[in-house]
Amino acid sequence: MTVPSPEYLDPRLTEQRNPRTQRIDVAATLEIVDLINAEDATVAQAVRAVREDIARAIDRVVATFKKEGRLIYVGAGTSGRLGVLDASECPPTFGTPPEMVVGIIAGGYQALLKGLEGAEDDVNAGMAAMDDARVSPKDFVLGIAASGTTPFVRAALARAQTIGAATGLLSCSDPPKLLVETCDVLILPRVGPEALTGSTRMKAGTATKLVLNTISTGAMIRLGRAYGNLMVDLMAWSDKLRDRGERIVMECCGVDRSAARRAIEAAGGSVKLAIVMVAKRVGKPEAERLLAEAGGFVRRAVGDPPPVKA
């Protein structure tokens, strides 16, 4: 005879209690740090366990970009904030237009600044968010929901599917059967119960950040927005980034800083073009032609980058 579970037990993995931290409230400060750190140490392995699913998501994103579609993250609470964060970091890191990767969070801009957690229950807002973003069949909508059940995200994905967009779900719990059957990509890093029960800004949030970093970075690399492991498509919007751009040209082309700076200026601020101009000793128009012939890949245009010096 099967004994029913107590009514208070939540079947969602992210909502279950962690037996390893059940006395965290009486632990000393250093013990609290050690308990949380021990839980965090398990996250990377949980993400590695879904590496093939992440790779499938990257390939889906690359295909989306090649047909001029967008990657659209949609989430609520911590999940939504992490999606918006990843989207906002793509333009300065990879020189992408802001509309190429979009982050949508339940509750809108205000939800980034303060908790509007009730917004996650609004299914009408989830559907409306897809219409407001003008989602099309060319886009890939990736829902982010630690528990896998967030109504705002589920409604957004359903609306995106109706429109004809490709969809995916990133969750740290097993999602409802309907999402399993209808999403094109599922990424489910099972990080287990949190150190503080249900606080998915912890392990689930860390896993989400790792996955999103990998998806956006992997897709940009596949599109030629890196040379070796150098960010050659970065946008020099700060002194730090201008310095980084100059150093990249210096290292790749064996020139001093003043020459690197002049090359970047002549290239209209493009580090990628500057490398081709200096390496091939050509002007901007010819460098643009060479880079276009190479599909945007610097390595194909000028050869291998210099090896990393120990």
Residue 107's region, left for phi above 0, alpha for psi from -120 to 50, else beta, is: left
Q: Tell me if residue 89 is catalytic.
A: yes
Q: CA 65 → CA 68, 71, 153, 238, distances in Å?
A: 5, 8, 22, 27
Catalytic choice (120, 181, 251, 288): 120
Task: Say how far residue 232 (Cα) sits from the centre of its chain.
Answer: 19
Give me the residues paired with residue 166 across strands: 140
How many of the other CB atoms lie within 10 Å of CB of 217?
A: 19
Among 243, 239, 286, smallest CA distance to 266 is for 286
Q: Are 53 and 212 in contact (CB under 8 A)?
A: no
Catalytic choice (15, 89, 251, 288): 89
Query: What backbone phi and psi angles, to 5 degrees, belong to 253?
Result: -115, -5
First CA to last CA across the chain, in angstroms?
Answer: 65
Please give the positions annotated as active site. Answer: 89, 120
